[in-house]
Amino acid sequence: MLRSVVAIALRMIIAFFIGFTSMADAGEFNEVLSIGDKSPDWENLPGTDGKKHSLSDLKDKQIVVIVFTCLSCPTAVDYEERIDALAKQHAGADDKVAVVAVCVNRIDADRLPKLEARVKDKGFSFIYLADESQKIAKDFGAIFTPEFYVFDQDRKLVYMGAMDDNTDPRIVKQNFVEAAIAAVQKGEKPKITETLARGCRVRYVRERK
């Protein structure tokens, strides 16, 4: 009996320290990734262009910007033009920055056909992907839409969080994503590496046990 109690207590202590270590390794606002982590891999995600896309497709890019977004969130929709402006800024054939939007919500308003219609209507320049498995968002620890991640040439995370410091584009004073891109292009680290994203929560589907 005593041996059984000791064994249970030992397992509880080990579990506590494993959980504590995981939390310590995560970011300030992200429970999965921390600055300096390698980008989670993803492959063969369907895009609004009718093609399948993988992280490996971007091997020639110096910087990769991933943004989790959707159509059902007013804040995410408000940021569409800013995301598109960022993509157009780096749309040159020789430019080394890729901007990739990903929607993982599984409600009808956010499914691939609706994304395709939106891209066609607005003429967006950024890659827009869908992942109904929601795996990519879970691997990134994404919580909000929109939520941004900037990776350098080694695909190490240099910034994550909000795009800028205000949802109202007229009074934005700091664009964290642009600052991170500029820093990497200079071979430097961004001064601000993590902020709390603003918007609607990612609509994760609860797994039945």
Check residue 6 and give its pLDDT: 35
pTM of the complete model: 0.86
| Mean pLDDT for the stretch of residues 9-22 | 36
97: its two tokens: 């920055």
Query: Are 52 and 42 contacting, i.e. CB atoms less than 8 angstroms apart?
Result: no
| Residues facing 158 on adjacent strands | none
Check residue 209 and give its pLDDT: 57
The phi, psi pair for 91, rounded to 5°, reads -90, -5
Check residue 206 and give its pLDDT: 84
Q: How far is CA 206 from CA 45, 60, 106, 174, in A?
A: 21, 37, 12, 36
* Poorest-pLDDT segment among 17-21, 151-155, 195-199: 17-21
User: 111 or 19: whose pLDDT is higher?
Assistant: 111
pLDDT, one tens digit per residue, over 77-122 is 999 999 999 999 998 878 999 999 999 999 999 999 999 999 999 9
Check residue 127 and give its pLDDT: 94
Check residue 26 and give its pLDDT: 65
User: 136 or 94: whose pLDDT is higher?
Assistant: 136
Query: What whole-number distance in Å separates Cα of residue 129 and Cα of residue 104?
Result: 9
Q: Hey, what's the torsion of the CAs at 66, 67, 68, 74, to 10 degrees? A: -170
| Mean pLDDT for the stretch of residues 173-188 | 97
